[in-house]
A and B are shown apart, each in its own frame.
Chain A
Amino acid sequence: MTTPTRPETAADPTSVSVAVDVAAPLEHVFDVFTLRMDSWWDPDHHMLEDTAEFVVEPWVGGTITDVGPAGERCTWGRVLVFDRPAAFAFSWDISPRWEVETDPARCSEVHVSFAAVDAGTTRVTLEHRHLDRHGEGWAAMRDSVGSPDGWGSNLRRMAETARIPVPIVDREVAES
Chain B
Amino acid sequence: MATDISGFAALADPTRREIYERVAARPSSVGELAAGLPVSRPAVSQHLRVLKDARLVADEAVGTRRVYRADPEGLAMLREYLDLFWRRSLDSFAAVAEETFHDHPDPT
Any chain A CB within 8 A of the CB of B92? yes
**A169 CA to B72 CA in the complex, in Å?**
21
A73 contacts chain B at the CB level, 8 A cutoff: no
Is A115 part of the binding interface, using a Cβ–Cβ cutoff of 8 Å?
A: no
| Complex: A155 Cα to B28 Cα, angstroms | 33
Q: Is the interface of A mostly helix, strand, loop or mixed?
A: mixed
In the complex, the chain B residue whose C-beta lies closest to that of A24 is B101
Q: A25 at interface (Cβ–Cβ under 8 A)?
A: yes
Which residue of A14, A15, A32, A155 contacts B93 across the interface (Cβ within 8 Å)? A32
Total inter-chain residue pairs, C-beta < 8 Å: 154
Q: Given A29, A126, A134, A162, which contacts B88 in the complex, CB threshold below 8 Å?
A: A162
Within 8 A of B (CB), among A57-86: none
| Chain B residue nearest in CB terms to A130 | B21
Given contacts A12-B25, A24-B97, contact A135 B89 (CB under 8 A): no
Check if A32 sits within 8 Å of B24, measured CB to CB: no
Q: Is the CB of A135 within 8 A of B84?
A: no
Within 8 Å by CB of A13, from B8, B70, B94, B101, lies B70
B interface residues with partner A (beta carbon < 8 Å):
6-12, 17, 20-21, 24-25, 70-72, 74-98, 100-101, 105-106, 108
